[in-house]
Amino acid sequence: MNEYEYAGFWVRTGAAIIDTILILIIIVPILTAIYGTDYWINQSIVKGFWDVLFNYILPAIAIIIFWTYKSATPGKMALKLTIVDAKNGGHPSTGQLIGRYFGYYISIIPLFLGLIWVGIDRRKQGLHDKLAGTVVIKNNKKEKVTFESKE
């Protein structure tokens, strides 16, 4: 039986900020090289194929790959956080992780309330976590959360 502590709102926000900075370090020079500096002042929501590829498709693929192989993004790894199955504490399935990613979009629709819910929920689950059946835990062992194994 493993015992863990749920990761709360602020540590998860810190991980998201780290991930955002890393993504920006990669995509800003690329999009500037493709579209020029006018890209950053243009009022269009979608500026073309490369815009969609570098802002939506490739980050989604990278995040799901990190979750699949490391159970965390670089930001979560830096802050010693791990995504686990909410029922047994094991590694979530690929389907759960893909659902979790798309759950982010559902979570932000009502004024980001699905993400803010992490700060209110007793298991620190956002709507995306609830939809996917996942929780985010701190890697340091504590006596707060207990998962039972499926044996």
Q: How far apart are the first and last CA of the chain?
A: 11
Q: What is the pLDDT of residues 80-101, one digit of tens each?
A: 999 999 999 999 999 999 999 9
Domain ranges of the chain: 2-37+49-141
| Sign of torsion over alpha carbons 121, 127, 130, 136 | negative
The answer to whether the CB of 73 falls within 8 A of the CB of 19 is: yes
Q: What is the pTM of this model?
A: 0.86
Average pLDDT of the chain is: 92
